[in-house]
Copies of this chain bind each other. A is one copy, B any other.
Amino acid sequence: MQQGTNLPKVGSYNRAVVLEAIQASDGISRVQIAAVTGLTAQTVSVIVRRLLEEGLVVEDGSAPSRSSSGGKPRTILRVEARAGYAVGVHFDPQELSFVLADLAGRPVTRLHLPLRPRARPDAVIRGMARTARRILREAGVPDGKVLGVGLACPGPLDADGVMVSPPRLPGWDRVPIKGLLQEYTRFPVTVDNDATAAAIGERWAGIARSARGFAYLYLGTGIGGGLILDNQVYRGSSLNAAEFGHITVEPEGPECYCGNRGCVEAVCCPSAIEAALGSGAGHAAICAAAAGGEPEARRVIERVAQRLADAAVSVVNMLDIDLLVLGGPALREVGEIYREVIARAVAERPLARRLHGVRVETSPIAADAAAIGAASLVFHATYAPRLGTLVSG
């Protein structure tokens, strides 16, 4: 049942709306904030004063008034990047990536650590915590400025941050990863699946800044996705929405570990690409060869691109979005091949193609998208205007 709302909820929601408007801009005046948020000048002014007092926002010079009549120059506001930090951890079955990000979402430090196959969950999580603490120490960030640790990890996850039979991580079923990381770091931990984290990262600090809605297709060891719909992260009833990797693209295709056949992931993930070429070459080598024009590798990659495009057309038909972002480490050198094939498909095939175009972009932060996204999870959880907060206790 839809919930009602009240004044205190409205206050903190509007505060988040203003902070998001400042974060999404490259400097913005109070008048512009009022224009983009629909809030009154007075409301904006009160909220900005508070954000300045708290040190989350700074005044950064002034812009000349747009009107030629002169008038008082407008003060430009920016997020104070050094007001807070978050550590983002991306837990991929093959490696751990860490990013220390400032409040503007900019990465200050990055670190990649390979992961021993079949390492014990508790040892891995203790290692994450140790590394997170070390990065903060080396960067000289005091505990008081740490907003939290964000963790992007393979789904499915339940609402308490417990991993539920992650298909590529045997031995991790029912591991309460959020609770353990919290215990070992002594910071608040925000957890989400890797692709949703990456999507939030793109919206907070990447290519989809202030996009009303978009789908994020994440290509890593597996294939996942994230959805921002009507300005909100869409997670679904069990927090496992946007599993684009399990759209069926070849009904008679190979079996997928998920219990289905011919899933995008079973056809398009790096190990499937290696199997399709069958030469013993690794995914990185195949991508390099395809990018270099080697015909066999190129043929395999183009077929994968076609299947990704089929899935993308289904996503567009289902969700009627204007923007599709491709990200994740498996893009490697072939991101542009994927982007072109998908862009052509979503221009030619969706039912509503005559009503609106669909932009397809590869993420400039592809390889680190999930780790940066993980850090953004913390900022998002702390600051983003979520309609849900208007209508829940």
Contact = CB atoms under 8 A, between A and B. Distances in A.
Contacts of A20: 1-2
A82 interface: no
A34 B306 CA distance: 52
A88 interface: no
B249 A248 contact: yes
A354 B3 contact: no
Interface string A338-363: 00000000001111111110000000
Nearest to A17: B4
Contacts of A251: 249-251, 307, 310
Contact of A243 (B155, B230, B236, B317): B317
Given A4-B17, A6-B40, A246 B351 contact: yes
Contacts of A3: 17, 37-38
Contacts of A213: 236-237
A213 B239 CA distance: 13
Contacts of A315: 318
Contacts of A259: 348-349, 353
A324 to B, nearest CB: 12
Interface string A253-268: 0000011100000000
Contacts of A390: 5, 387, 390
Interface in A234-291: 234-244, 246-251, 258-260
B43 A6 contact: yes
A260 B38 contact: no
A285 to B, nearest CB: 28
B230 A212 contact: no
Contacts of A51: none
A381 interface: no
Contacts of A349: 258-260
Interface string A154-165: 011010000011
Contacts of A153: none
Q: Which 6 A-B pairs have the closest CB atoms?
A: A236-B320, A4-B39, A240-B352, A241-B320, A243-B317, A238-B355
